[in-house]
Amino acid sequence: MDRESTKKKIENLREEIEHHNKLYYDDSENIISDYEYDLKMNELISLEKKFPEFSLSTSPSLKVGGKITKDFKTFKHSTQMLSLSNTYSDEDLNDFDKRIKKLLDSNDIEYICELKYDGVALSILYEDKKLKRTLTRGDGKYGDDISNNALTIKTLPIKLNSNENLNIEVRGEAFISKSNFHLLNKEKEKNNEQLFSNPRNTASGSLKLQDSSEVAKRKINCFIYSLNSDIDGIYTQEEGLNYLKEIGFNVPNTYEKCNNIDEVKTYIRKWEDKRNYLDVETDGIVIKVNNLKYQKKLGNTSKSPRWAIAYKYKAESKVTKVKDILFQVGRTGAVTPVAILEPVKIGGSVVKRASLHNHNEIRRLDIRLNDYVNIEKGGEIIPKITSVIKEKREIGSKEFIFTKNCPSCGSSLIIKNKQAVSYCKNDLLCRPQIYGRIEHFISKNAMDIEHIGPETIKGLVDREIINNASDLYKIKFDDIINLEFKLNDGEKIRSLKEKSCNNIIDSIKISKSKPFSNLLFALGIRYVGKTTAEKLTSHFSNIDKLINADFDEIISVDEVGDKIAESIIKYFSDKKNIELVNSLKNSGLIFSEKIQEFESNKLDSLVFVVSGSFSSFSREELQEKIKLNGGKVSKSLSSKTNYLVFGDNMGPKKKIKAKELNIKMISESEFISMI
């Protein structure tokens, strides 16, 4: 293929891919298969690599990601990203309307109504009509720069469809559609991995991943709802939305101009049920004054715009019957009652069970078997029983008594320090506790052992292949080939085949190289989270020093208090936990910090907090430099902090707190002088 033909081919591929992106995300049409789409994308990427002279910063090939972001820099928003005040009734809407009319001294007020999408708010800047920067909301004043990840959002244009060299800022909501969320969890289930909790949290977590190619796999979408720049000839919110559509933004077609507050109420009623049939989670309606001059005149409070309000739909409520109350045991031995319900459709999904939390909640509701109950589920929140319909209660109904014995192993339950939670103390033999501890051990922030899901763990424990985390490292291929276990639905049976077995064995082997802090967190010591584990392993260079440390030495570690210290001492005073540690040691796991050569002791005993971005170091490199010169690094300011090293775009809160605590602030160059 000659150069001219190649150039034409690349241009055609780009045009075709953008066309399919628009069809898929804007119009929910998929006229080619994912396989055909991937072939076109791979061909484009291949041609751009071979002929870099034809590369473009606006090519759709950038949407597949591939950049690694080690640190998310923060930038100040051009105007603060405020949150909306909420309203729940027609009376509240009337009051809002009256306030607006009074402040503007006018009875002729138009409103724009838009669906309130449940996602992640973004501020997106374009310079010379090209995508420049994408920020999260952050604290409203400063946001994280997630530009590499935002490039993977196929509905977010890299270049605007305009003849002018536009410099504009827009705001929108990034989200994962219900259908894509379902597909993501299907893939997770297939790989025996922990499922994502809900679309909103999945979108938020995805946008903060370091590898943008992983973000691209999540198929994040983005609706634009606001033009945050002045454009000649645009005088209303409605005109702004129409303009954003014209220049290539994904603006949902659900907004509507309302001439008065009564039309606003009609819009709200129209979407109350209809919104549940959309492929995106919504949690209400946003009502905005349409006239942009009026918006500026009304201004904002310290938290919210005066010209807009969010109407929140009341959580949908349904009546259903309690068929049974069962008890579940967690990894810590906590026993939780769960109501088994007559299936009822609510919030777009079928609800069959609801947590009753503890014996106090059962007493408060006075809930009994065969009771009819009111149940609520707003959006993606956990279903909740709000009340019992006592007038429908069966004659002769008996008070429900909380179990005194573990539903799994039969051991007597105890209640700690007059708490509301009952515990099973038979942690060595109680199966659900064993499952839970191993699930925690293999989780992403711990040992990150892939290809093993909860069902696989149950199968391994139930067949006595493993009984604790250390047994994972003794598993052989022959132990697990054709291992059968039940899937979540309890009916389908799956067995491990050769490829799955090899993946499991390889993942376990790879986990041996995980650092000491991951391993300490994986042990599941109460109150020892990931950050605390990192601080402890930084202070105690190996597990033996931590095991032998006394209370005073443990609480001397930055941000470690009495409760954590007591929990650590209690954990290591238990013989079976020491046996677990020794068994893991024998399997070759890392129970010591990597020994590093110190450059000097110039910063000995000094505690630093690092904030902002720097020219000579990344933030991590600067923190490492502090440690190599004998200093300590903390994530938050306290009375123990000696210096705050500040760089560009440091958050204002840290500066204020440093002044309050009288902590010396030093620049990057001043820090370099110190060492």
**If pLDDT is split at 50, 70 and 90, which confidence band does 299 have?**
very high
Q: Measure the CA–CA gap between 449 and 472, rounded to whole angstroms.
A: 10
Are 574 and 633 found together in one domain?
A: no
Quote the pTM value: 0.54
Helices then strands, each counted (H, E), the chain: 24, 24
What would the pLDDT profile of 147-173 be if each residue is shown by its tens digit? 999 999 989 999 999 888 899 999 999
Q: Name the average pLDDT for the chain.
A: 87
- The answer to whether residue 454 scores a pLDDT higher than 70 is yes
Are 113 and 235 found together in one domain?
A: yes
Q: Could you tell me if 10 and 44 are in contact, meaning their C-beta atoms sit under 8 angstroms apart?
A: yes
**If pLDDT is split at 50, 70 and 90, which confidence band does 653 have?**
confident
Least confident of 119-128, 369-378, 390-399, 435-444: 369-378
State the CATH number of the domain containing residue 491. 1.10.150.20
Are 491 and 582 found together in one domain?
A: no
Are 11 and 93 found together in one domain?
A: no
Strands 317-329 and 334-346, how do they pair? antiparallel
- Span 215-244, average pLDDT: 94
Is 116 noted as a catalytic residue in this protein? yes
Are 538 and 483 found together in one domain?
A: no
* Catalytic choice (9, 22, 102, 116): 116
* Residue 157 lies inside a defined structural domain of this protein: yes
* Residue 71 lies inside a defined structural domain of this protein: no
Task: Give the pLDDT confidence score for residue 109 in this predicted structure.
Answer: 96
- Span 610-621, average pLDDT: 80
- Residue of higher predicted confidence among 648 and 438: 438
Tokens of 505: 């064995």
- Span 209-224, average pLDDT: 89
* Residue 418 lies inside a defined structural domain of this protein: no
Task: Give the pLDDT confidence score for residue 165 in this predicted structure.
Answer: 87
Q: Measure the CA–CA gap between 622 and 558, rounded to whole angstroms.
A: 19
The closest alpha carbon to 14, from 43, 53, 36, belongs to: 43
Cross-strand pairs, 327: 337
Are 97 and 225 found together in one domain?
A: yes
Which stretches of 384-524 are DSSP H helices?
431-442, 454-462, 477-480, 498-511, 516-522
Cross-strand pairs, 76: 142
Task: Give the pLDDT confidence score for residue 596 in this predicted structure.
Answer: 60
Task: Give the pLDDT confidence score for residue 192 in this predicted structure.
Answer: 57
- Residue of higher predicted confidence among 197 and 563: 563
Domain range for residue 162? 76-264+275-310
- Span 115-123, average pLDDT: 93
Q: Which residues contact 199 (CB under 8 A, 6 or more apart)?
A: 118, 119, 175, 176, 177, 178, 181, 280, 281, 380
- Sheet with 308-311, edge to edge strand ranges: 86-87, 308-311, 282-289, 111-117, 256-258
What would the pLDDT profile of 378-425 be if each residue is shown by its tens digit? 544 568 898 999 999 999 999 999 999 999 999 999 987 667 789 999
- The answer to whether residue 474 scores a pLDDT higher than 50 is yes
What would the pLDDT profile of 12-35 be if each residue is shown by its tens digit? 888 888 887 776 655 556 677 666
- The answer to whether residue 595 scores a pLDDT higher than 90 is no
Q: Measure the CA–CA gap between 646 and 654, rounded to whole angstroms.
A: 9
State the CATH number of the domain containing residue 653. 3.40.50.10190
- The answer to whether residue 265 scores a pLDDT higher than 50 is yes
Task: Give the pLDDT confidence score for residue 617 in this predicted structure.
Answer: 79
Are 436 and 542 found together in one domain?
A: no
E strands present in 548-606: none
Q: Which of residues 64, 93, 112 is at a domain's end?
A: 64
* Residue 414 lies inside a defined structural domain of this protein: no
3-state helix, strand, coil in the chain (%, to 5): 40, 20, 40
Cross-strand pairs, 257: 112
Tally the C-alpha atoms within 13 A of residue 601's C-alpha that lie toward its C-beta. Answer: 2
What would the pLDDT profile of 536-561 be if each residue is shown by its tens digit? 998 898 999 999 999 988 988 877 88
- Span 621-645, average pLDDT: 86
- Span 495-501, average pLDDT: 86
